[in-house]
Amino acid sequence: MRTSLIPTLSLLFPLLALPATAAAQRETLVRIRVVDSAGAPVSNADVSAMHGLATVVAGGPTDSLGFRTITVPRGGDYEAVARRIGYQRGEQFFLAALDSLTLRIVLRVAPRTLPTVAVTAEQDVKRRAYHVDADDIASSKRPIIDGLDVLTKLRPDIIYSRVPGCNARYVWVNGRRMSLVPINEALIPKARQQRRAASILKHIGPTGLATVNLTIQSVMTSIHPEHIEEINYADCMDTTVDAVKGNSAIFVTLKPGVAFEPGIGSFVVDAAASTTNEHTASYESADAKDLTYRNRLLGVYDESTGEPVAGVEVADSTSGTFALTTSTGTVSLLFLPEGMSTLRIRKAGYAEIRLPVVISPRDTLPITLVLAKPK
């Protein structure tokens, strides 16, 4: 009897070990390093892996070298978010498709905003009505399904417009204007009903979503809310965006690691990943080299005093994306795409400057500008 049980037990033990092995194979080890814009490690940064808008899968603080290692279920797409007081939030989307991968998140120093003065009060009101970012979306208590929901529920002024008869006509995603995109067929019946209602109530005319064309609606419904970094709107009176069809336009900027294709929508791209530990060092070295030229610096100084000027708006004239200079008068140009761009540099009390800038591995030197007060 004893000898007959031995083969049976030997067959059972491997079967008992299978669930644990299978569970281990269903997880991805993610090694996250958090650094500042100069490449120095950021310790005690709060790192979390998010799925969707509010589900935290894993997280914890970084160590003295800026590292945090977490595990996430295999096969999904996640957003790695890093936060620390004094820095702007950093994030990176990734696909958990391999056994392990390494991510690098750059935190930029939070710009110090100057007290609002009378000449910029109107601009500040407009920005609150026409701007929404990832933190606004994540903190919303209302259910947000897609990018169109972000507009209608969080920033209805973009849909209804603060200027009568000045409705959104174009949409840009990551600096590219969307035209001739596939129309979401589910939106067509509702659009017909809105047109019929407008034809009956001619004294009122189209209102709300009825004034927004199906191209914009189709693009926005195909964008996941958790993929949005920020949305800006330039109404018909806005001439700050130096691009054809750059006014009456919605500008959507997606988070790092997210791409957009018409007819598909927003999706997480497969980030470079290291499958073994020996590849980690070479991956980080290549990433740091890549960051060097992408993180080109610009410094702004007062012509008469030579002092750094804080709170200067440095904007990409094509996409409308901008950053403010810090107390040292500097700003990172990480938000610019590769290649040639035109910067719009302005601050109340100074003459505006337009500056062509190239972002490439060959163009890495810091840029110094002098702002002069109008005579």
Residue 284: pLDDT band with limits 50, 70, 90: very low
Beta partners for 109?
87
Write down the pLDDT at residue 122. 52
Distance of CA 335 to the CA centre of its chain: 10
> 154 or 207: which carries more pLDDT confidence?
154
Neighbour-count burial for 282-300, b at 16+ CB within 10 Å, e otherwise: ebbeebeeeeebbbbbbbb
User: What average pLDDT does the structure give for the chain?
Assistant: 78
Q: Specify the 3-state DSSP secondary structure of 152.
A: helix
Q: What is the pLDDT of residue 62?
A: 93
**Segment 291-333, tens digit of pLDDT:** 566 778 888 988 888 888 998 998 888 777 888 888 888 888 8
- Decide if 327 contacts 112 (C-beta within 8 A): yes
CB 36 within 8 Å of CB 43:
no
pLDDT confidence bin for 32, thresholds 50/70/90: very high
Q: What is the pLDDT of residues 43-80, one digit of tens each?
A: 999 999 988 887 889 999 999 999 999 999 988 889 99
Dump the DSSP string for 239-265: --S-STT-SSEEEEEEPTTEEEETTTE
In terms of CATH architecture, what is 2-110+270-278?
A: Sandwich (2.60)
Domain-wise residue ranges, the chain? 2-110+270-278, 118-263, 296-371
Looking at the predicted structure, is the pLDDT value of residue 16 above 50?
Answer: no
**In terms of Cα–Cα distance, which of 49, 90, 94, 91 is closest to 70?**
49
pLDDT value at 355 more than 70: yes
Same fold, 2-110+270-278 and 296-371: yes
pLDDT 10s digits, 211-270: 788 888 899 999 999 999 889 888 888 777 767 788 888 999 888 888 898 888 999 886
Give the per-residue pLDDT at 292.
60
Give the tens place of pLDDT for each residue, 82-124: 988 878 888 888 888 888 888 999 888 765 443 433 344 455 6
- The answer regarding whether domain 296-371 maps to CATH 3.20.20.140 reads no
Percent share of the chain, pLDDT over 90: 15
Task: Give the pLDDT band of residue 125 (cuts 50, 70, 90).
Answer: low
Amino acid symbol at 254? L
Q: Which residue has the higher pLDDT, 346 or 289?
A: 346
Compute the distance between CA of residue 197 and CA of residue 190 in angstroms, rounded to an integer.
11
Closest CA to 265 of 187, 178, 185, 186: 178
pLDDT band at residue 281 under the 50/70/90 scheme = very low
Place of tokens 């390093």: 33
Question: So what's the pLDDT on residue 220?
Answer: 92
